[in-house]
A = this chain, B = another copy of it.
Amino acid sequence: MRMALHEAEQAYAAGEIPVGCVIVAVSGQGVVIGRGHNLTQMLHDVTAHAEMQAITAAAETIGGKYLQGCTLYVTVEPCVMCAGAIGWAQVSRLVYGAADPKRGYTVYAPQALHPKCTVTAGVLEDECQELMRRFFQEQRERK
């Protein structure tokens, strides 16, 4: 999750909503096969969430579209779109930091993940949340 937070900080520095994601293939020592951060502003593309970038990168790395046996770390609870993608990719474990009651999948699409996917919430929650809070406060102050 430290690496995912580092990705989120990169998004923050670029003026993007600070969400970061890392995907690890957990067999053996654990290898990072994909990472990403939110790029929706830069790419003018609502689909460019951190998780989507990381899933596409991971699939590219392994040359296959299914991420069974992989853990996806993301600093904020995935939205409906990203949870759907995590489900399609059959990710085995999801670990997230801050909850997102306004947009999070646990409220709006609780069955989106693969039925065998295990979920751990609240990892480094305060740091993940604080980065988001700081970003949106700065956005408000600019207006």
Contact = CB atoms under 8 A, between A and B. Distances in A.
Main secondary structure of the interface of A (DSSP, over half): helix
Interface stretch (A82-90, A93-101, A125-133): A82-90
A52 interface: yes
Contact of A81 (B46, B59, B84, B108): B84
Interface size class of A (residues with CB under 8 A): 20 to 34
Interface stretch (A4-12, A20-28, A60-68, A115-123): A60-68
A111 interface: yes
A79 B80 CA distance: 10
Contacts of A52: 47
B55 A47 contact: yes
7 contacts: A45-B56, A45-B59, A47-B47, A47-B88, A79-B84, A79-B88, A81-B85
